[in-house]
């Protein structure tokens, strides 16, 4: 069964195949394209990407976002540009819709706060049937803190990419679809072997 249902489906599939051929997995963006596809199907079900459909969907989507997250803009804009580039009639979402950058306030923990945090991690008590969590969480937080790994990288890390004896971790297909190697401190290597 095809996951896309509107008359835009063939174009969406071609676009995703194009992105995949470039080596881009395009997982999150598929969700937004699927939402646009459903919206198109339920409204006009056009085979081209027209201004009215795109802007109505964009306004509806902007209202749903409590946090102001606009990560859905780029995939829709890229889809419109792709369609134009291959000769189809399409509307590219204009600059009235912009990605709002989140600027978090940085808080640097003191040495005693860091020690207290890891002390709590080490004394984590199993409250649910999630076997291994008391061992995984302390290691996860130490990995994030000591290596500067991104949360998504740590979450998606596979056992076969961790080389404790050699003292490094391979992070595959990370930001900008690059691989990188993170070297582990002696303390982190010992903690991982326990």
Each residue of 138-148: pLDDT tens digit? Answer: 888 989 998 88
The pLDDT assigned to 189 comes to: 79
User: Rounded to an integer, what distance in angstroms lies between the CA atom of residue 61 and that of residue 46?
Assistant: 19
pLDDT in the model for residue 66 = 54
Residue 102 predicted with pLDDT over 70? no
In the predicted model, what is the mean pLDDT of residues 103-126?
A: 86
At 6, the pLDDT band (50, 70, 90 cuts) reads very high
Over residues 169-194, the mean pLDDT reads: 82
Residue 181 φ then ψ, to 5°: -115, 130
Q: Check whether 190 has a pLDDT greater than 90.
A: no
Cα 95 to Cα 70: distance, rounded to the nearest angstrom: 13
pLDDT of 114 strictly over 60:
yes
Distance of CA 1 to the CA centre of its chain: 25
What rounded mean pLDDT belongs to the chain? 86
Query: CATH assignment of 111-193, given 1.10.443.10, 3.40.50.1820, 1.20.1090.10, 3.40.190.150?
Result: 1.10.443.10
Whole-number Cα distances in Å, 81 to 4, 29, 63, 110:
20, 15, 24, 48
On the question of pLDDT at 97 being above 60, the answer is: yes
Mean pLDDT, rounded, for 40-61: 93
Q: Are 57 and 39 in contact (CB under 8 A)?
A: yes
Q: What is the pLDDT of residue 113?
A: 96
Average pLDDT, integer, range 38-43: 96
Q: What is the pLDDT of residues 63-88, one digit of tens each?
A: 766 555 667 888 999 999 999 999 99
Q: What is the mean pLDDT of residues 75-103?
A: 85
């Amino acid at each position: 069964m095809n996951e896309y249902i509107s008359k835009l489906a063939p174009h969406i599939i071609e676009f995703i195949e194009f992105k995949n051929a470039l080596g881009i997995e395009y997982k999150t963006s598929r969700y937004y394209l699927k939402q646009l596809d459903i919206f198109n199907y339920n409204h006009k079900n056009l085979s081209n990407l027209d201004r009215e459909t795109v802007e109505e969907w964009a306004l509806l989507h902007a209202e749903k976002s409590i946090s102001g997250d606009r990560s859905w803009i780029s995939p829709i804009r890229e889809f419109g540009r792709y369609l134009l580039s291959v000769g189809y009639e399409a509307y590219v979402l204009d600059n009235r819709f912009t990605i709002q950058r989140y600027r978090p306030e940085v808080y640097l923990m003191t040495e005693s706060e860091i020690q207290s945090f890891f002390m709590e991690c080490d004394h984590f008590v199993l409250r649910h049937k999630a076997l291994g969590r008391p061992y995984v969480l302390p290691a996860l937080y130490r990995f994030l803190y000591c290596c500067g790994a991104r949360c998504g990288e740590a979450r998606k890390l596979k056992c076969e990419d961790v080389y404790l004896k050699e003292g490094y971790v391979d992070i595959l297909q990370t930001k900008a679809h690059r691989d990188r190697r993170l070297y582990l401190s002696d303390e982190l290597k010992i903690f991982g072997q326990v």
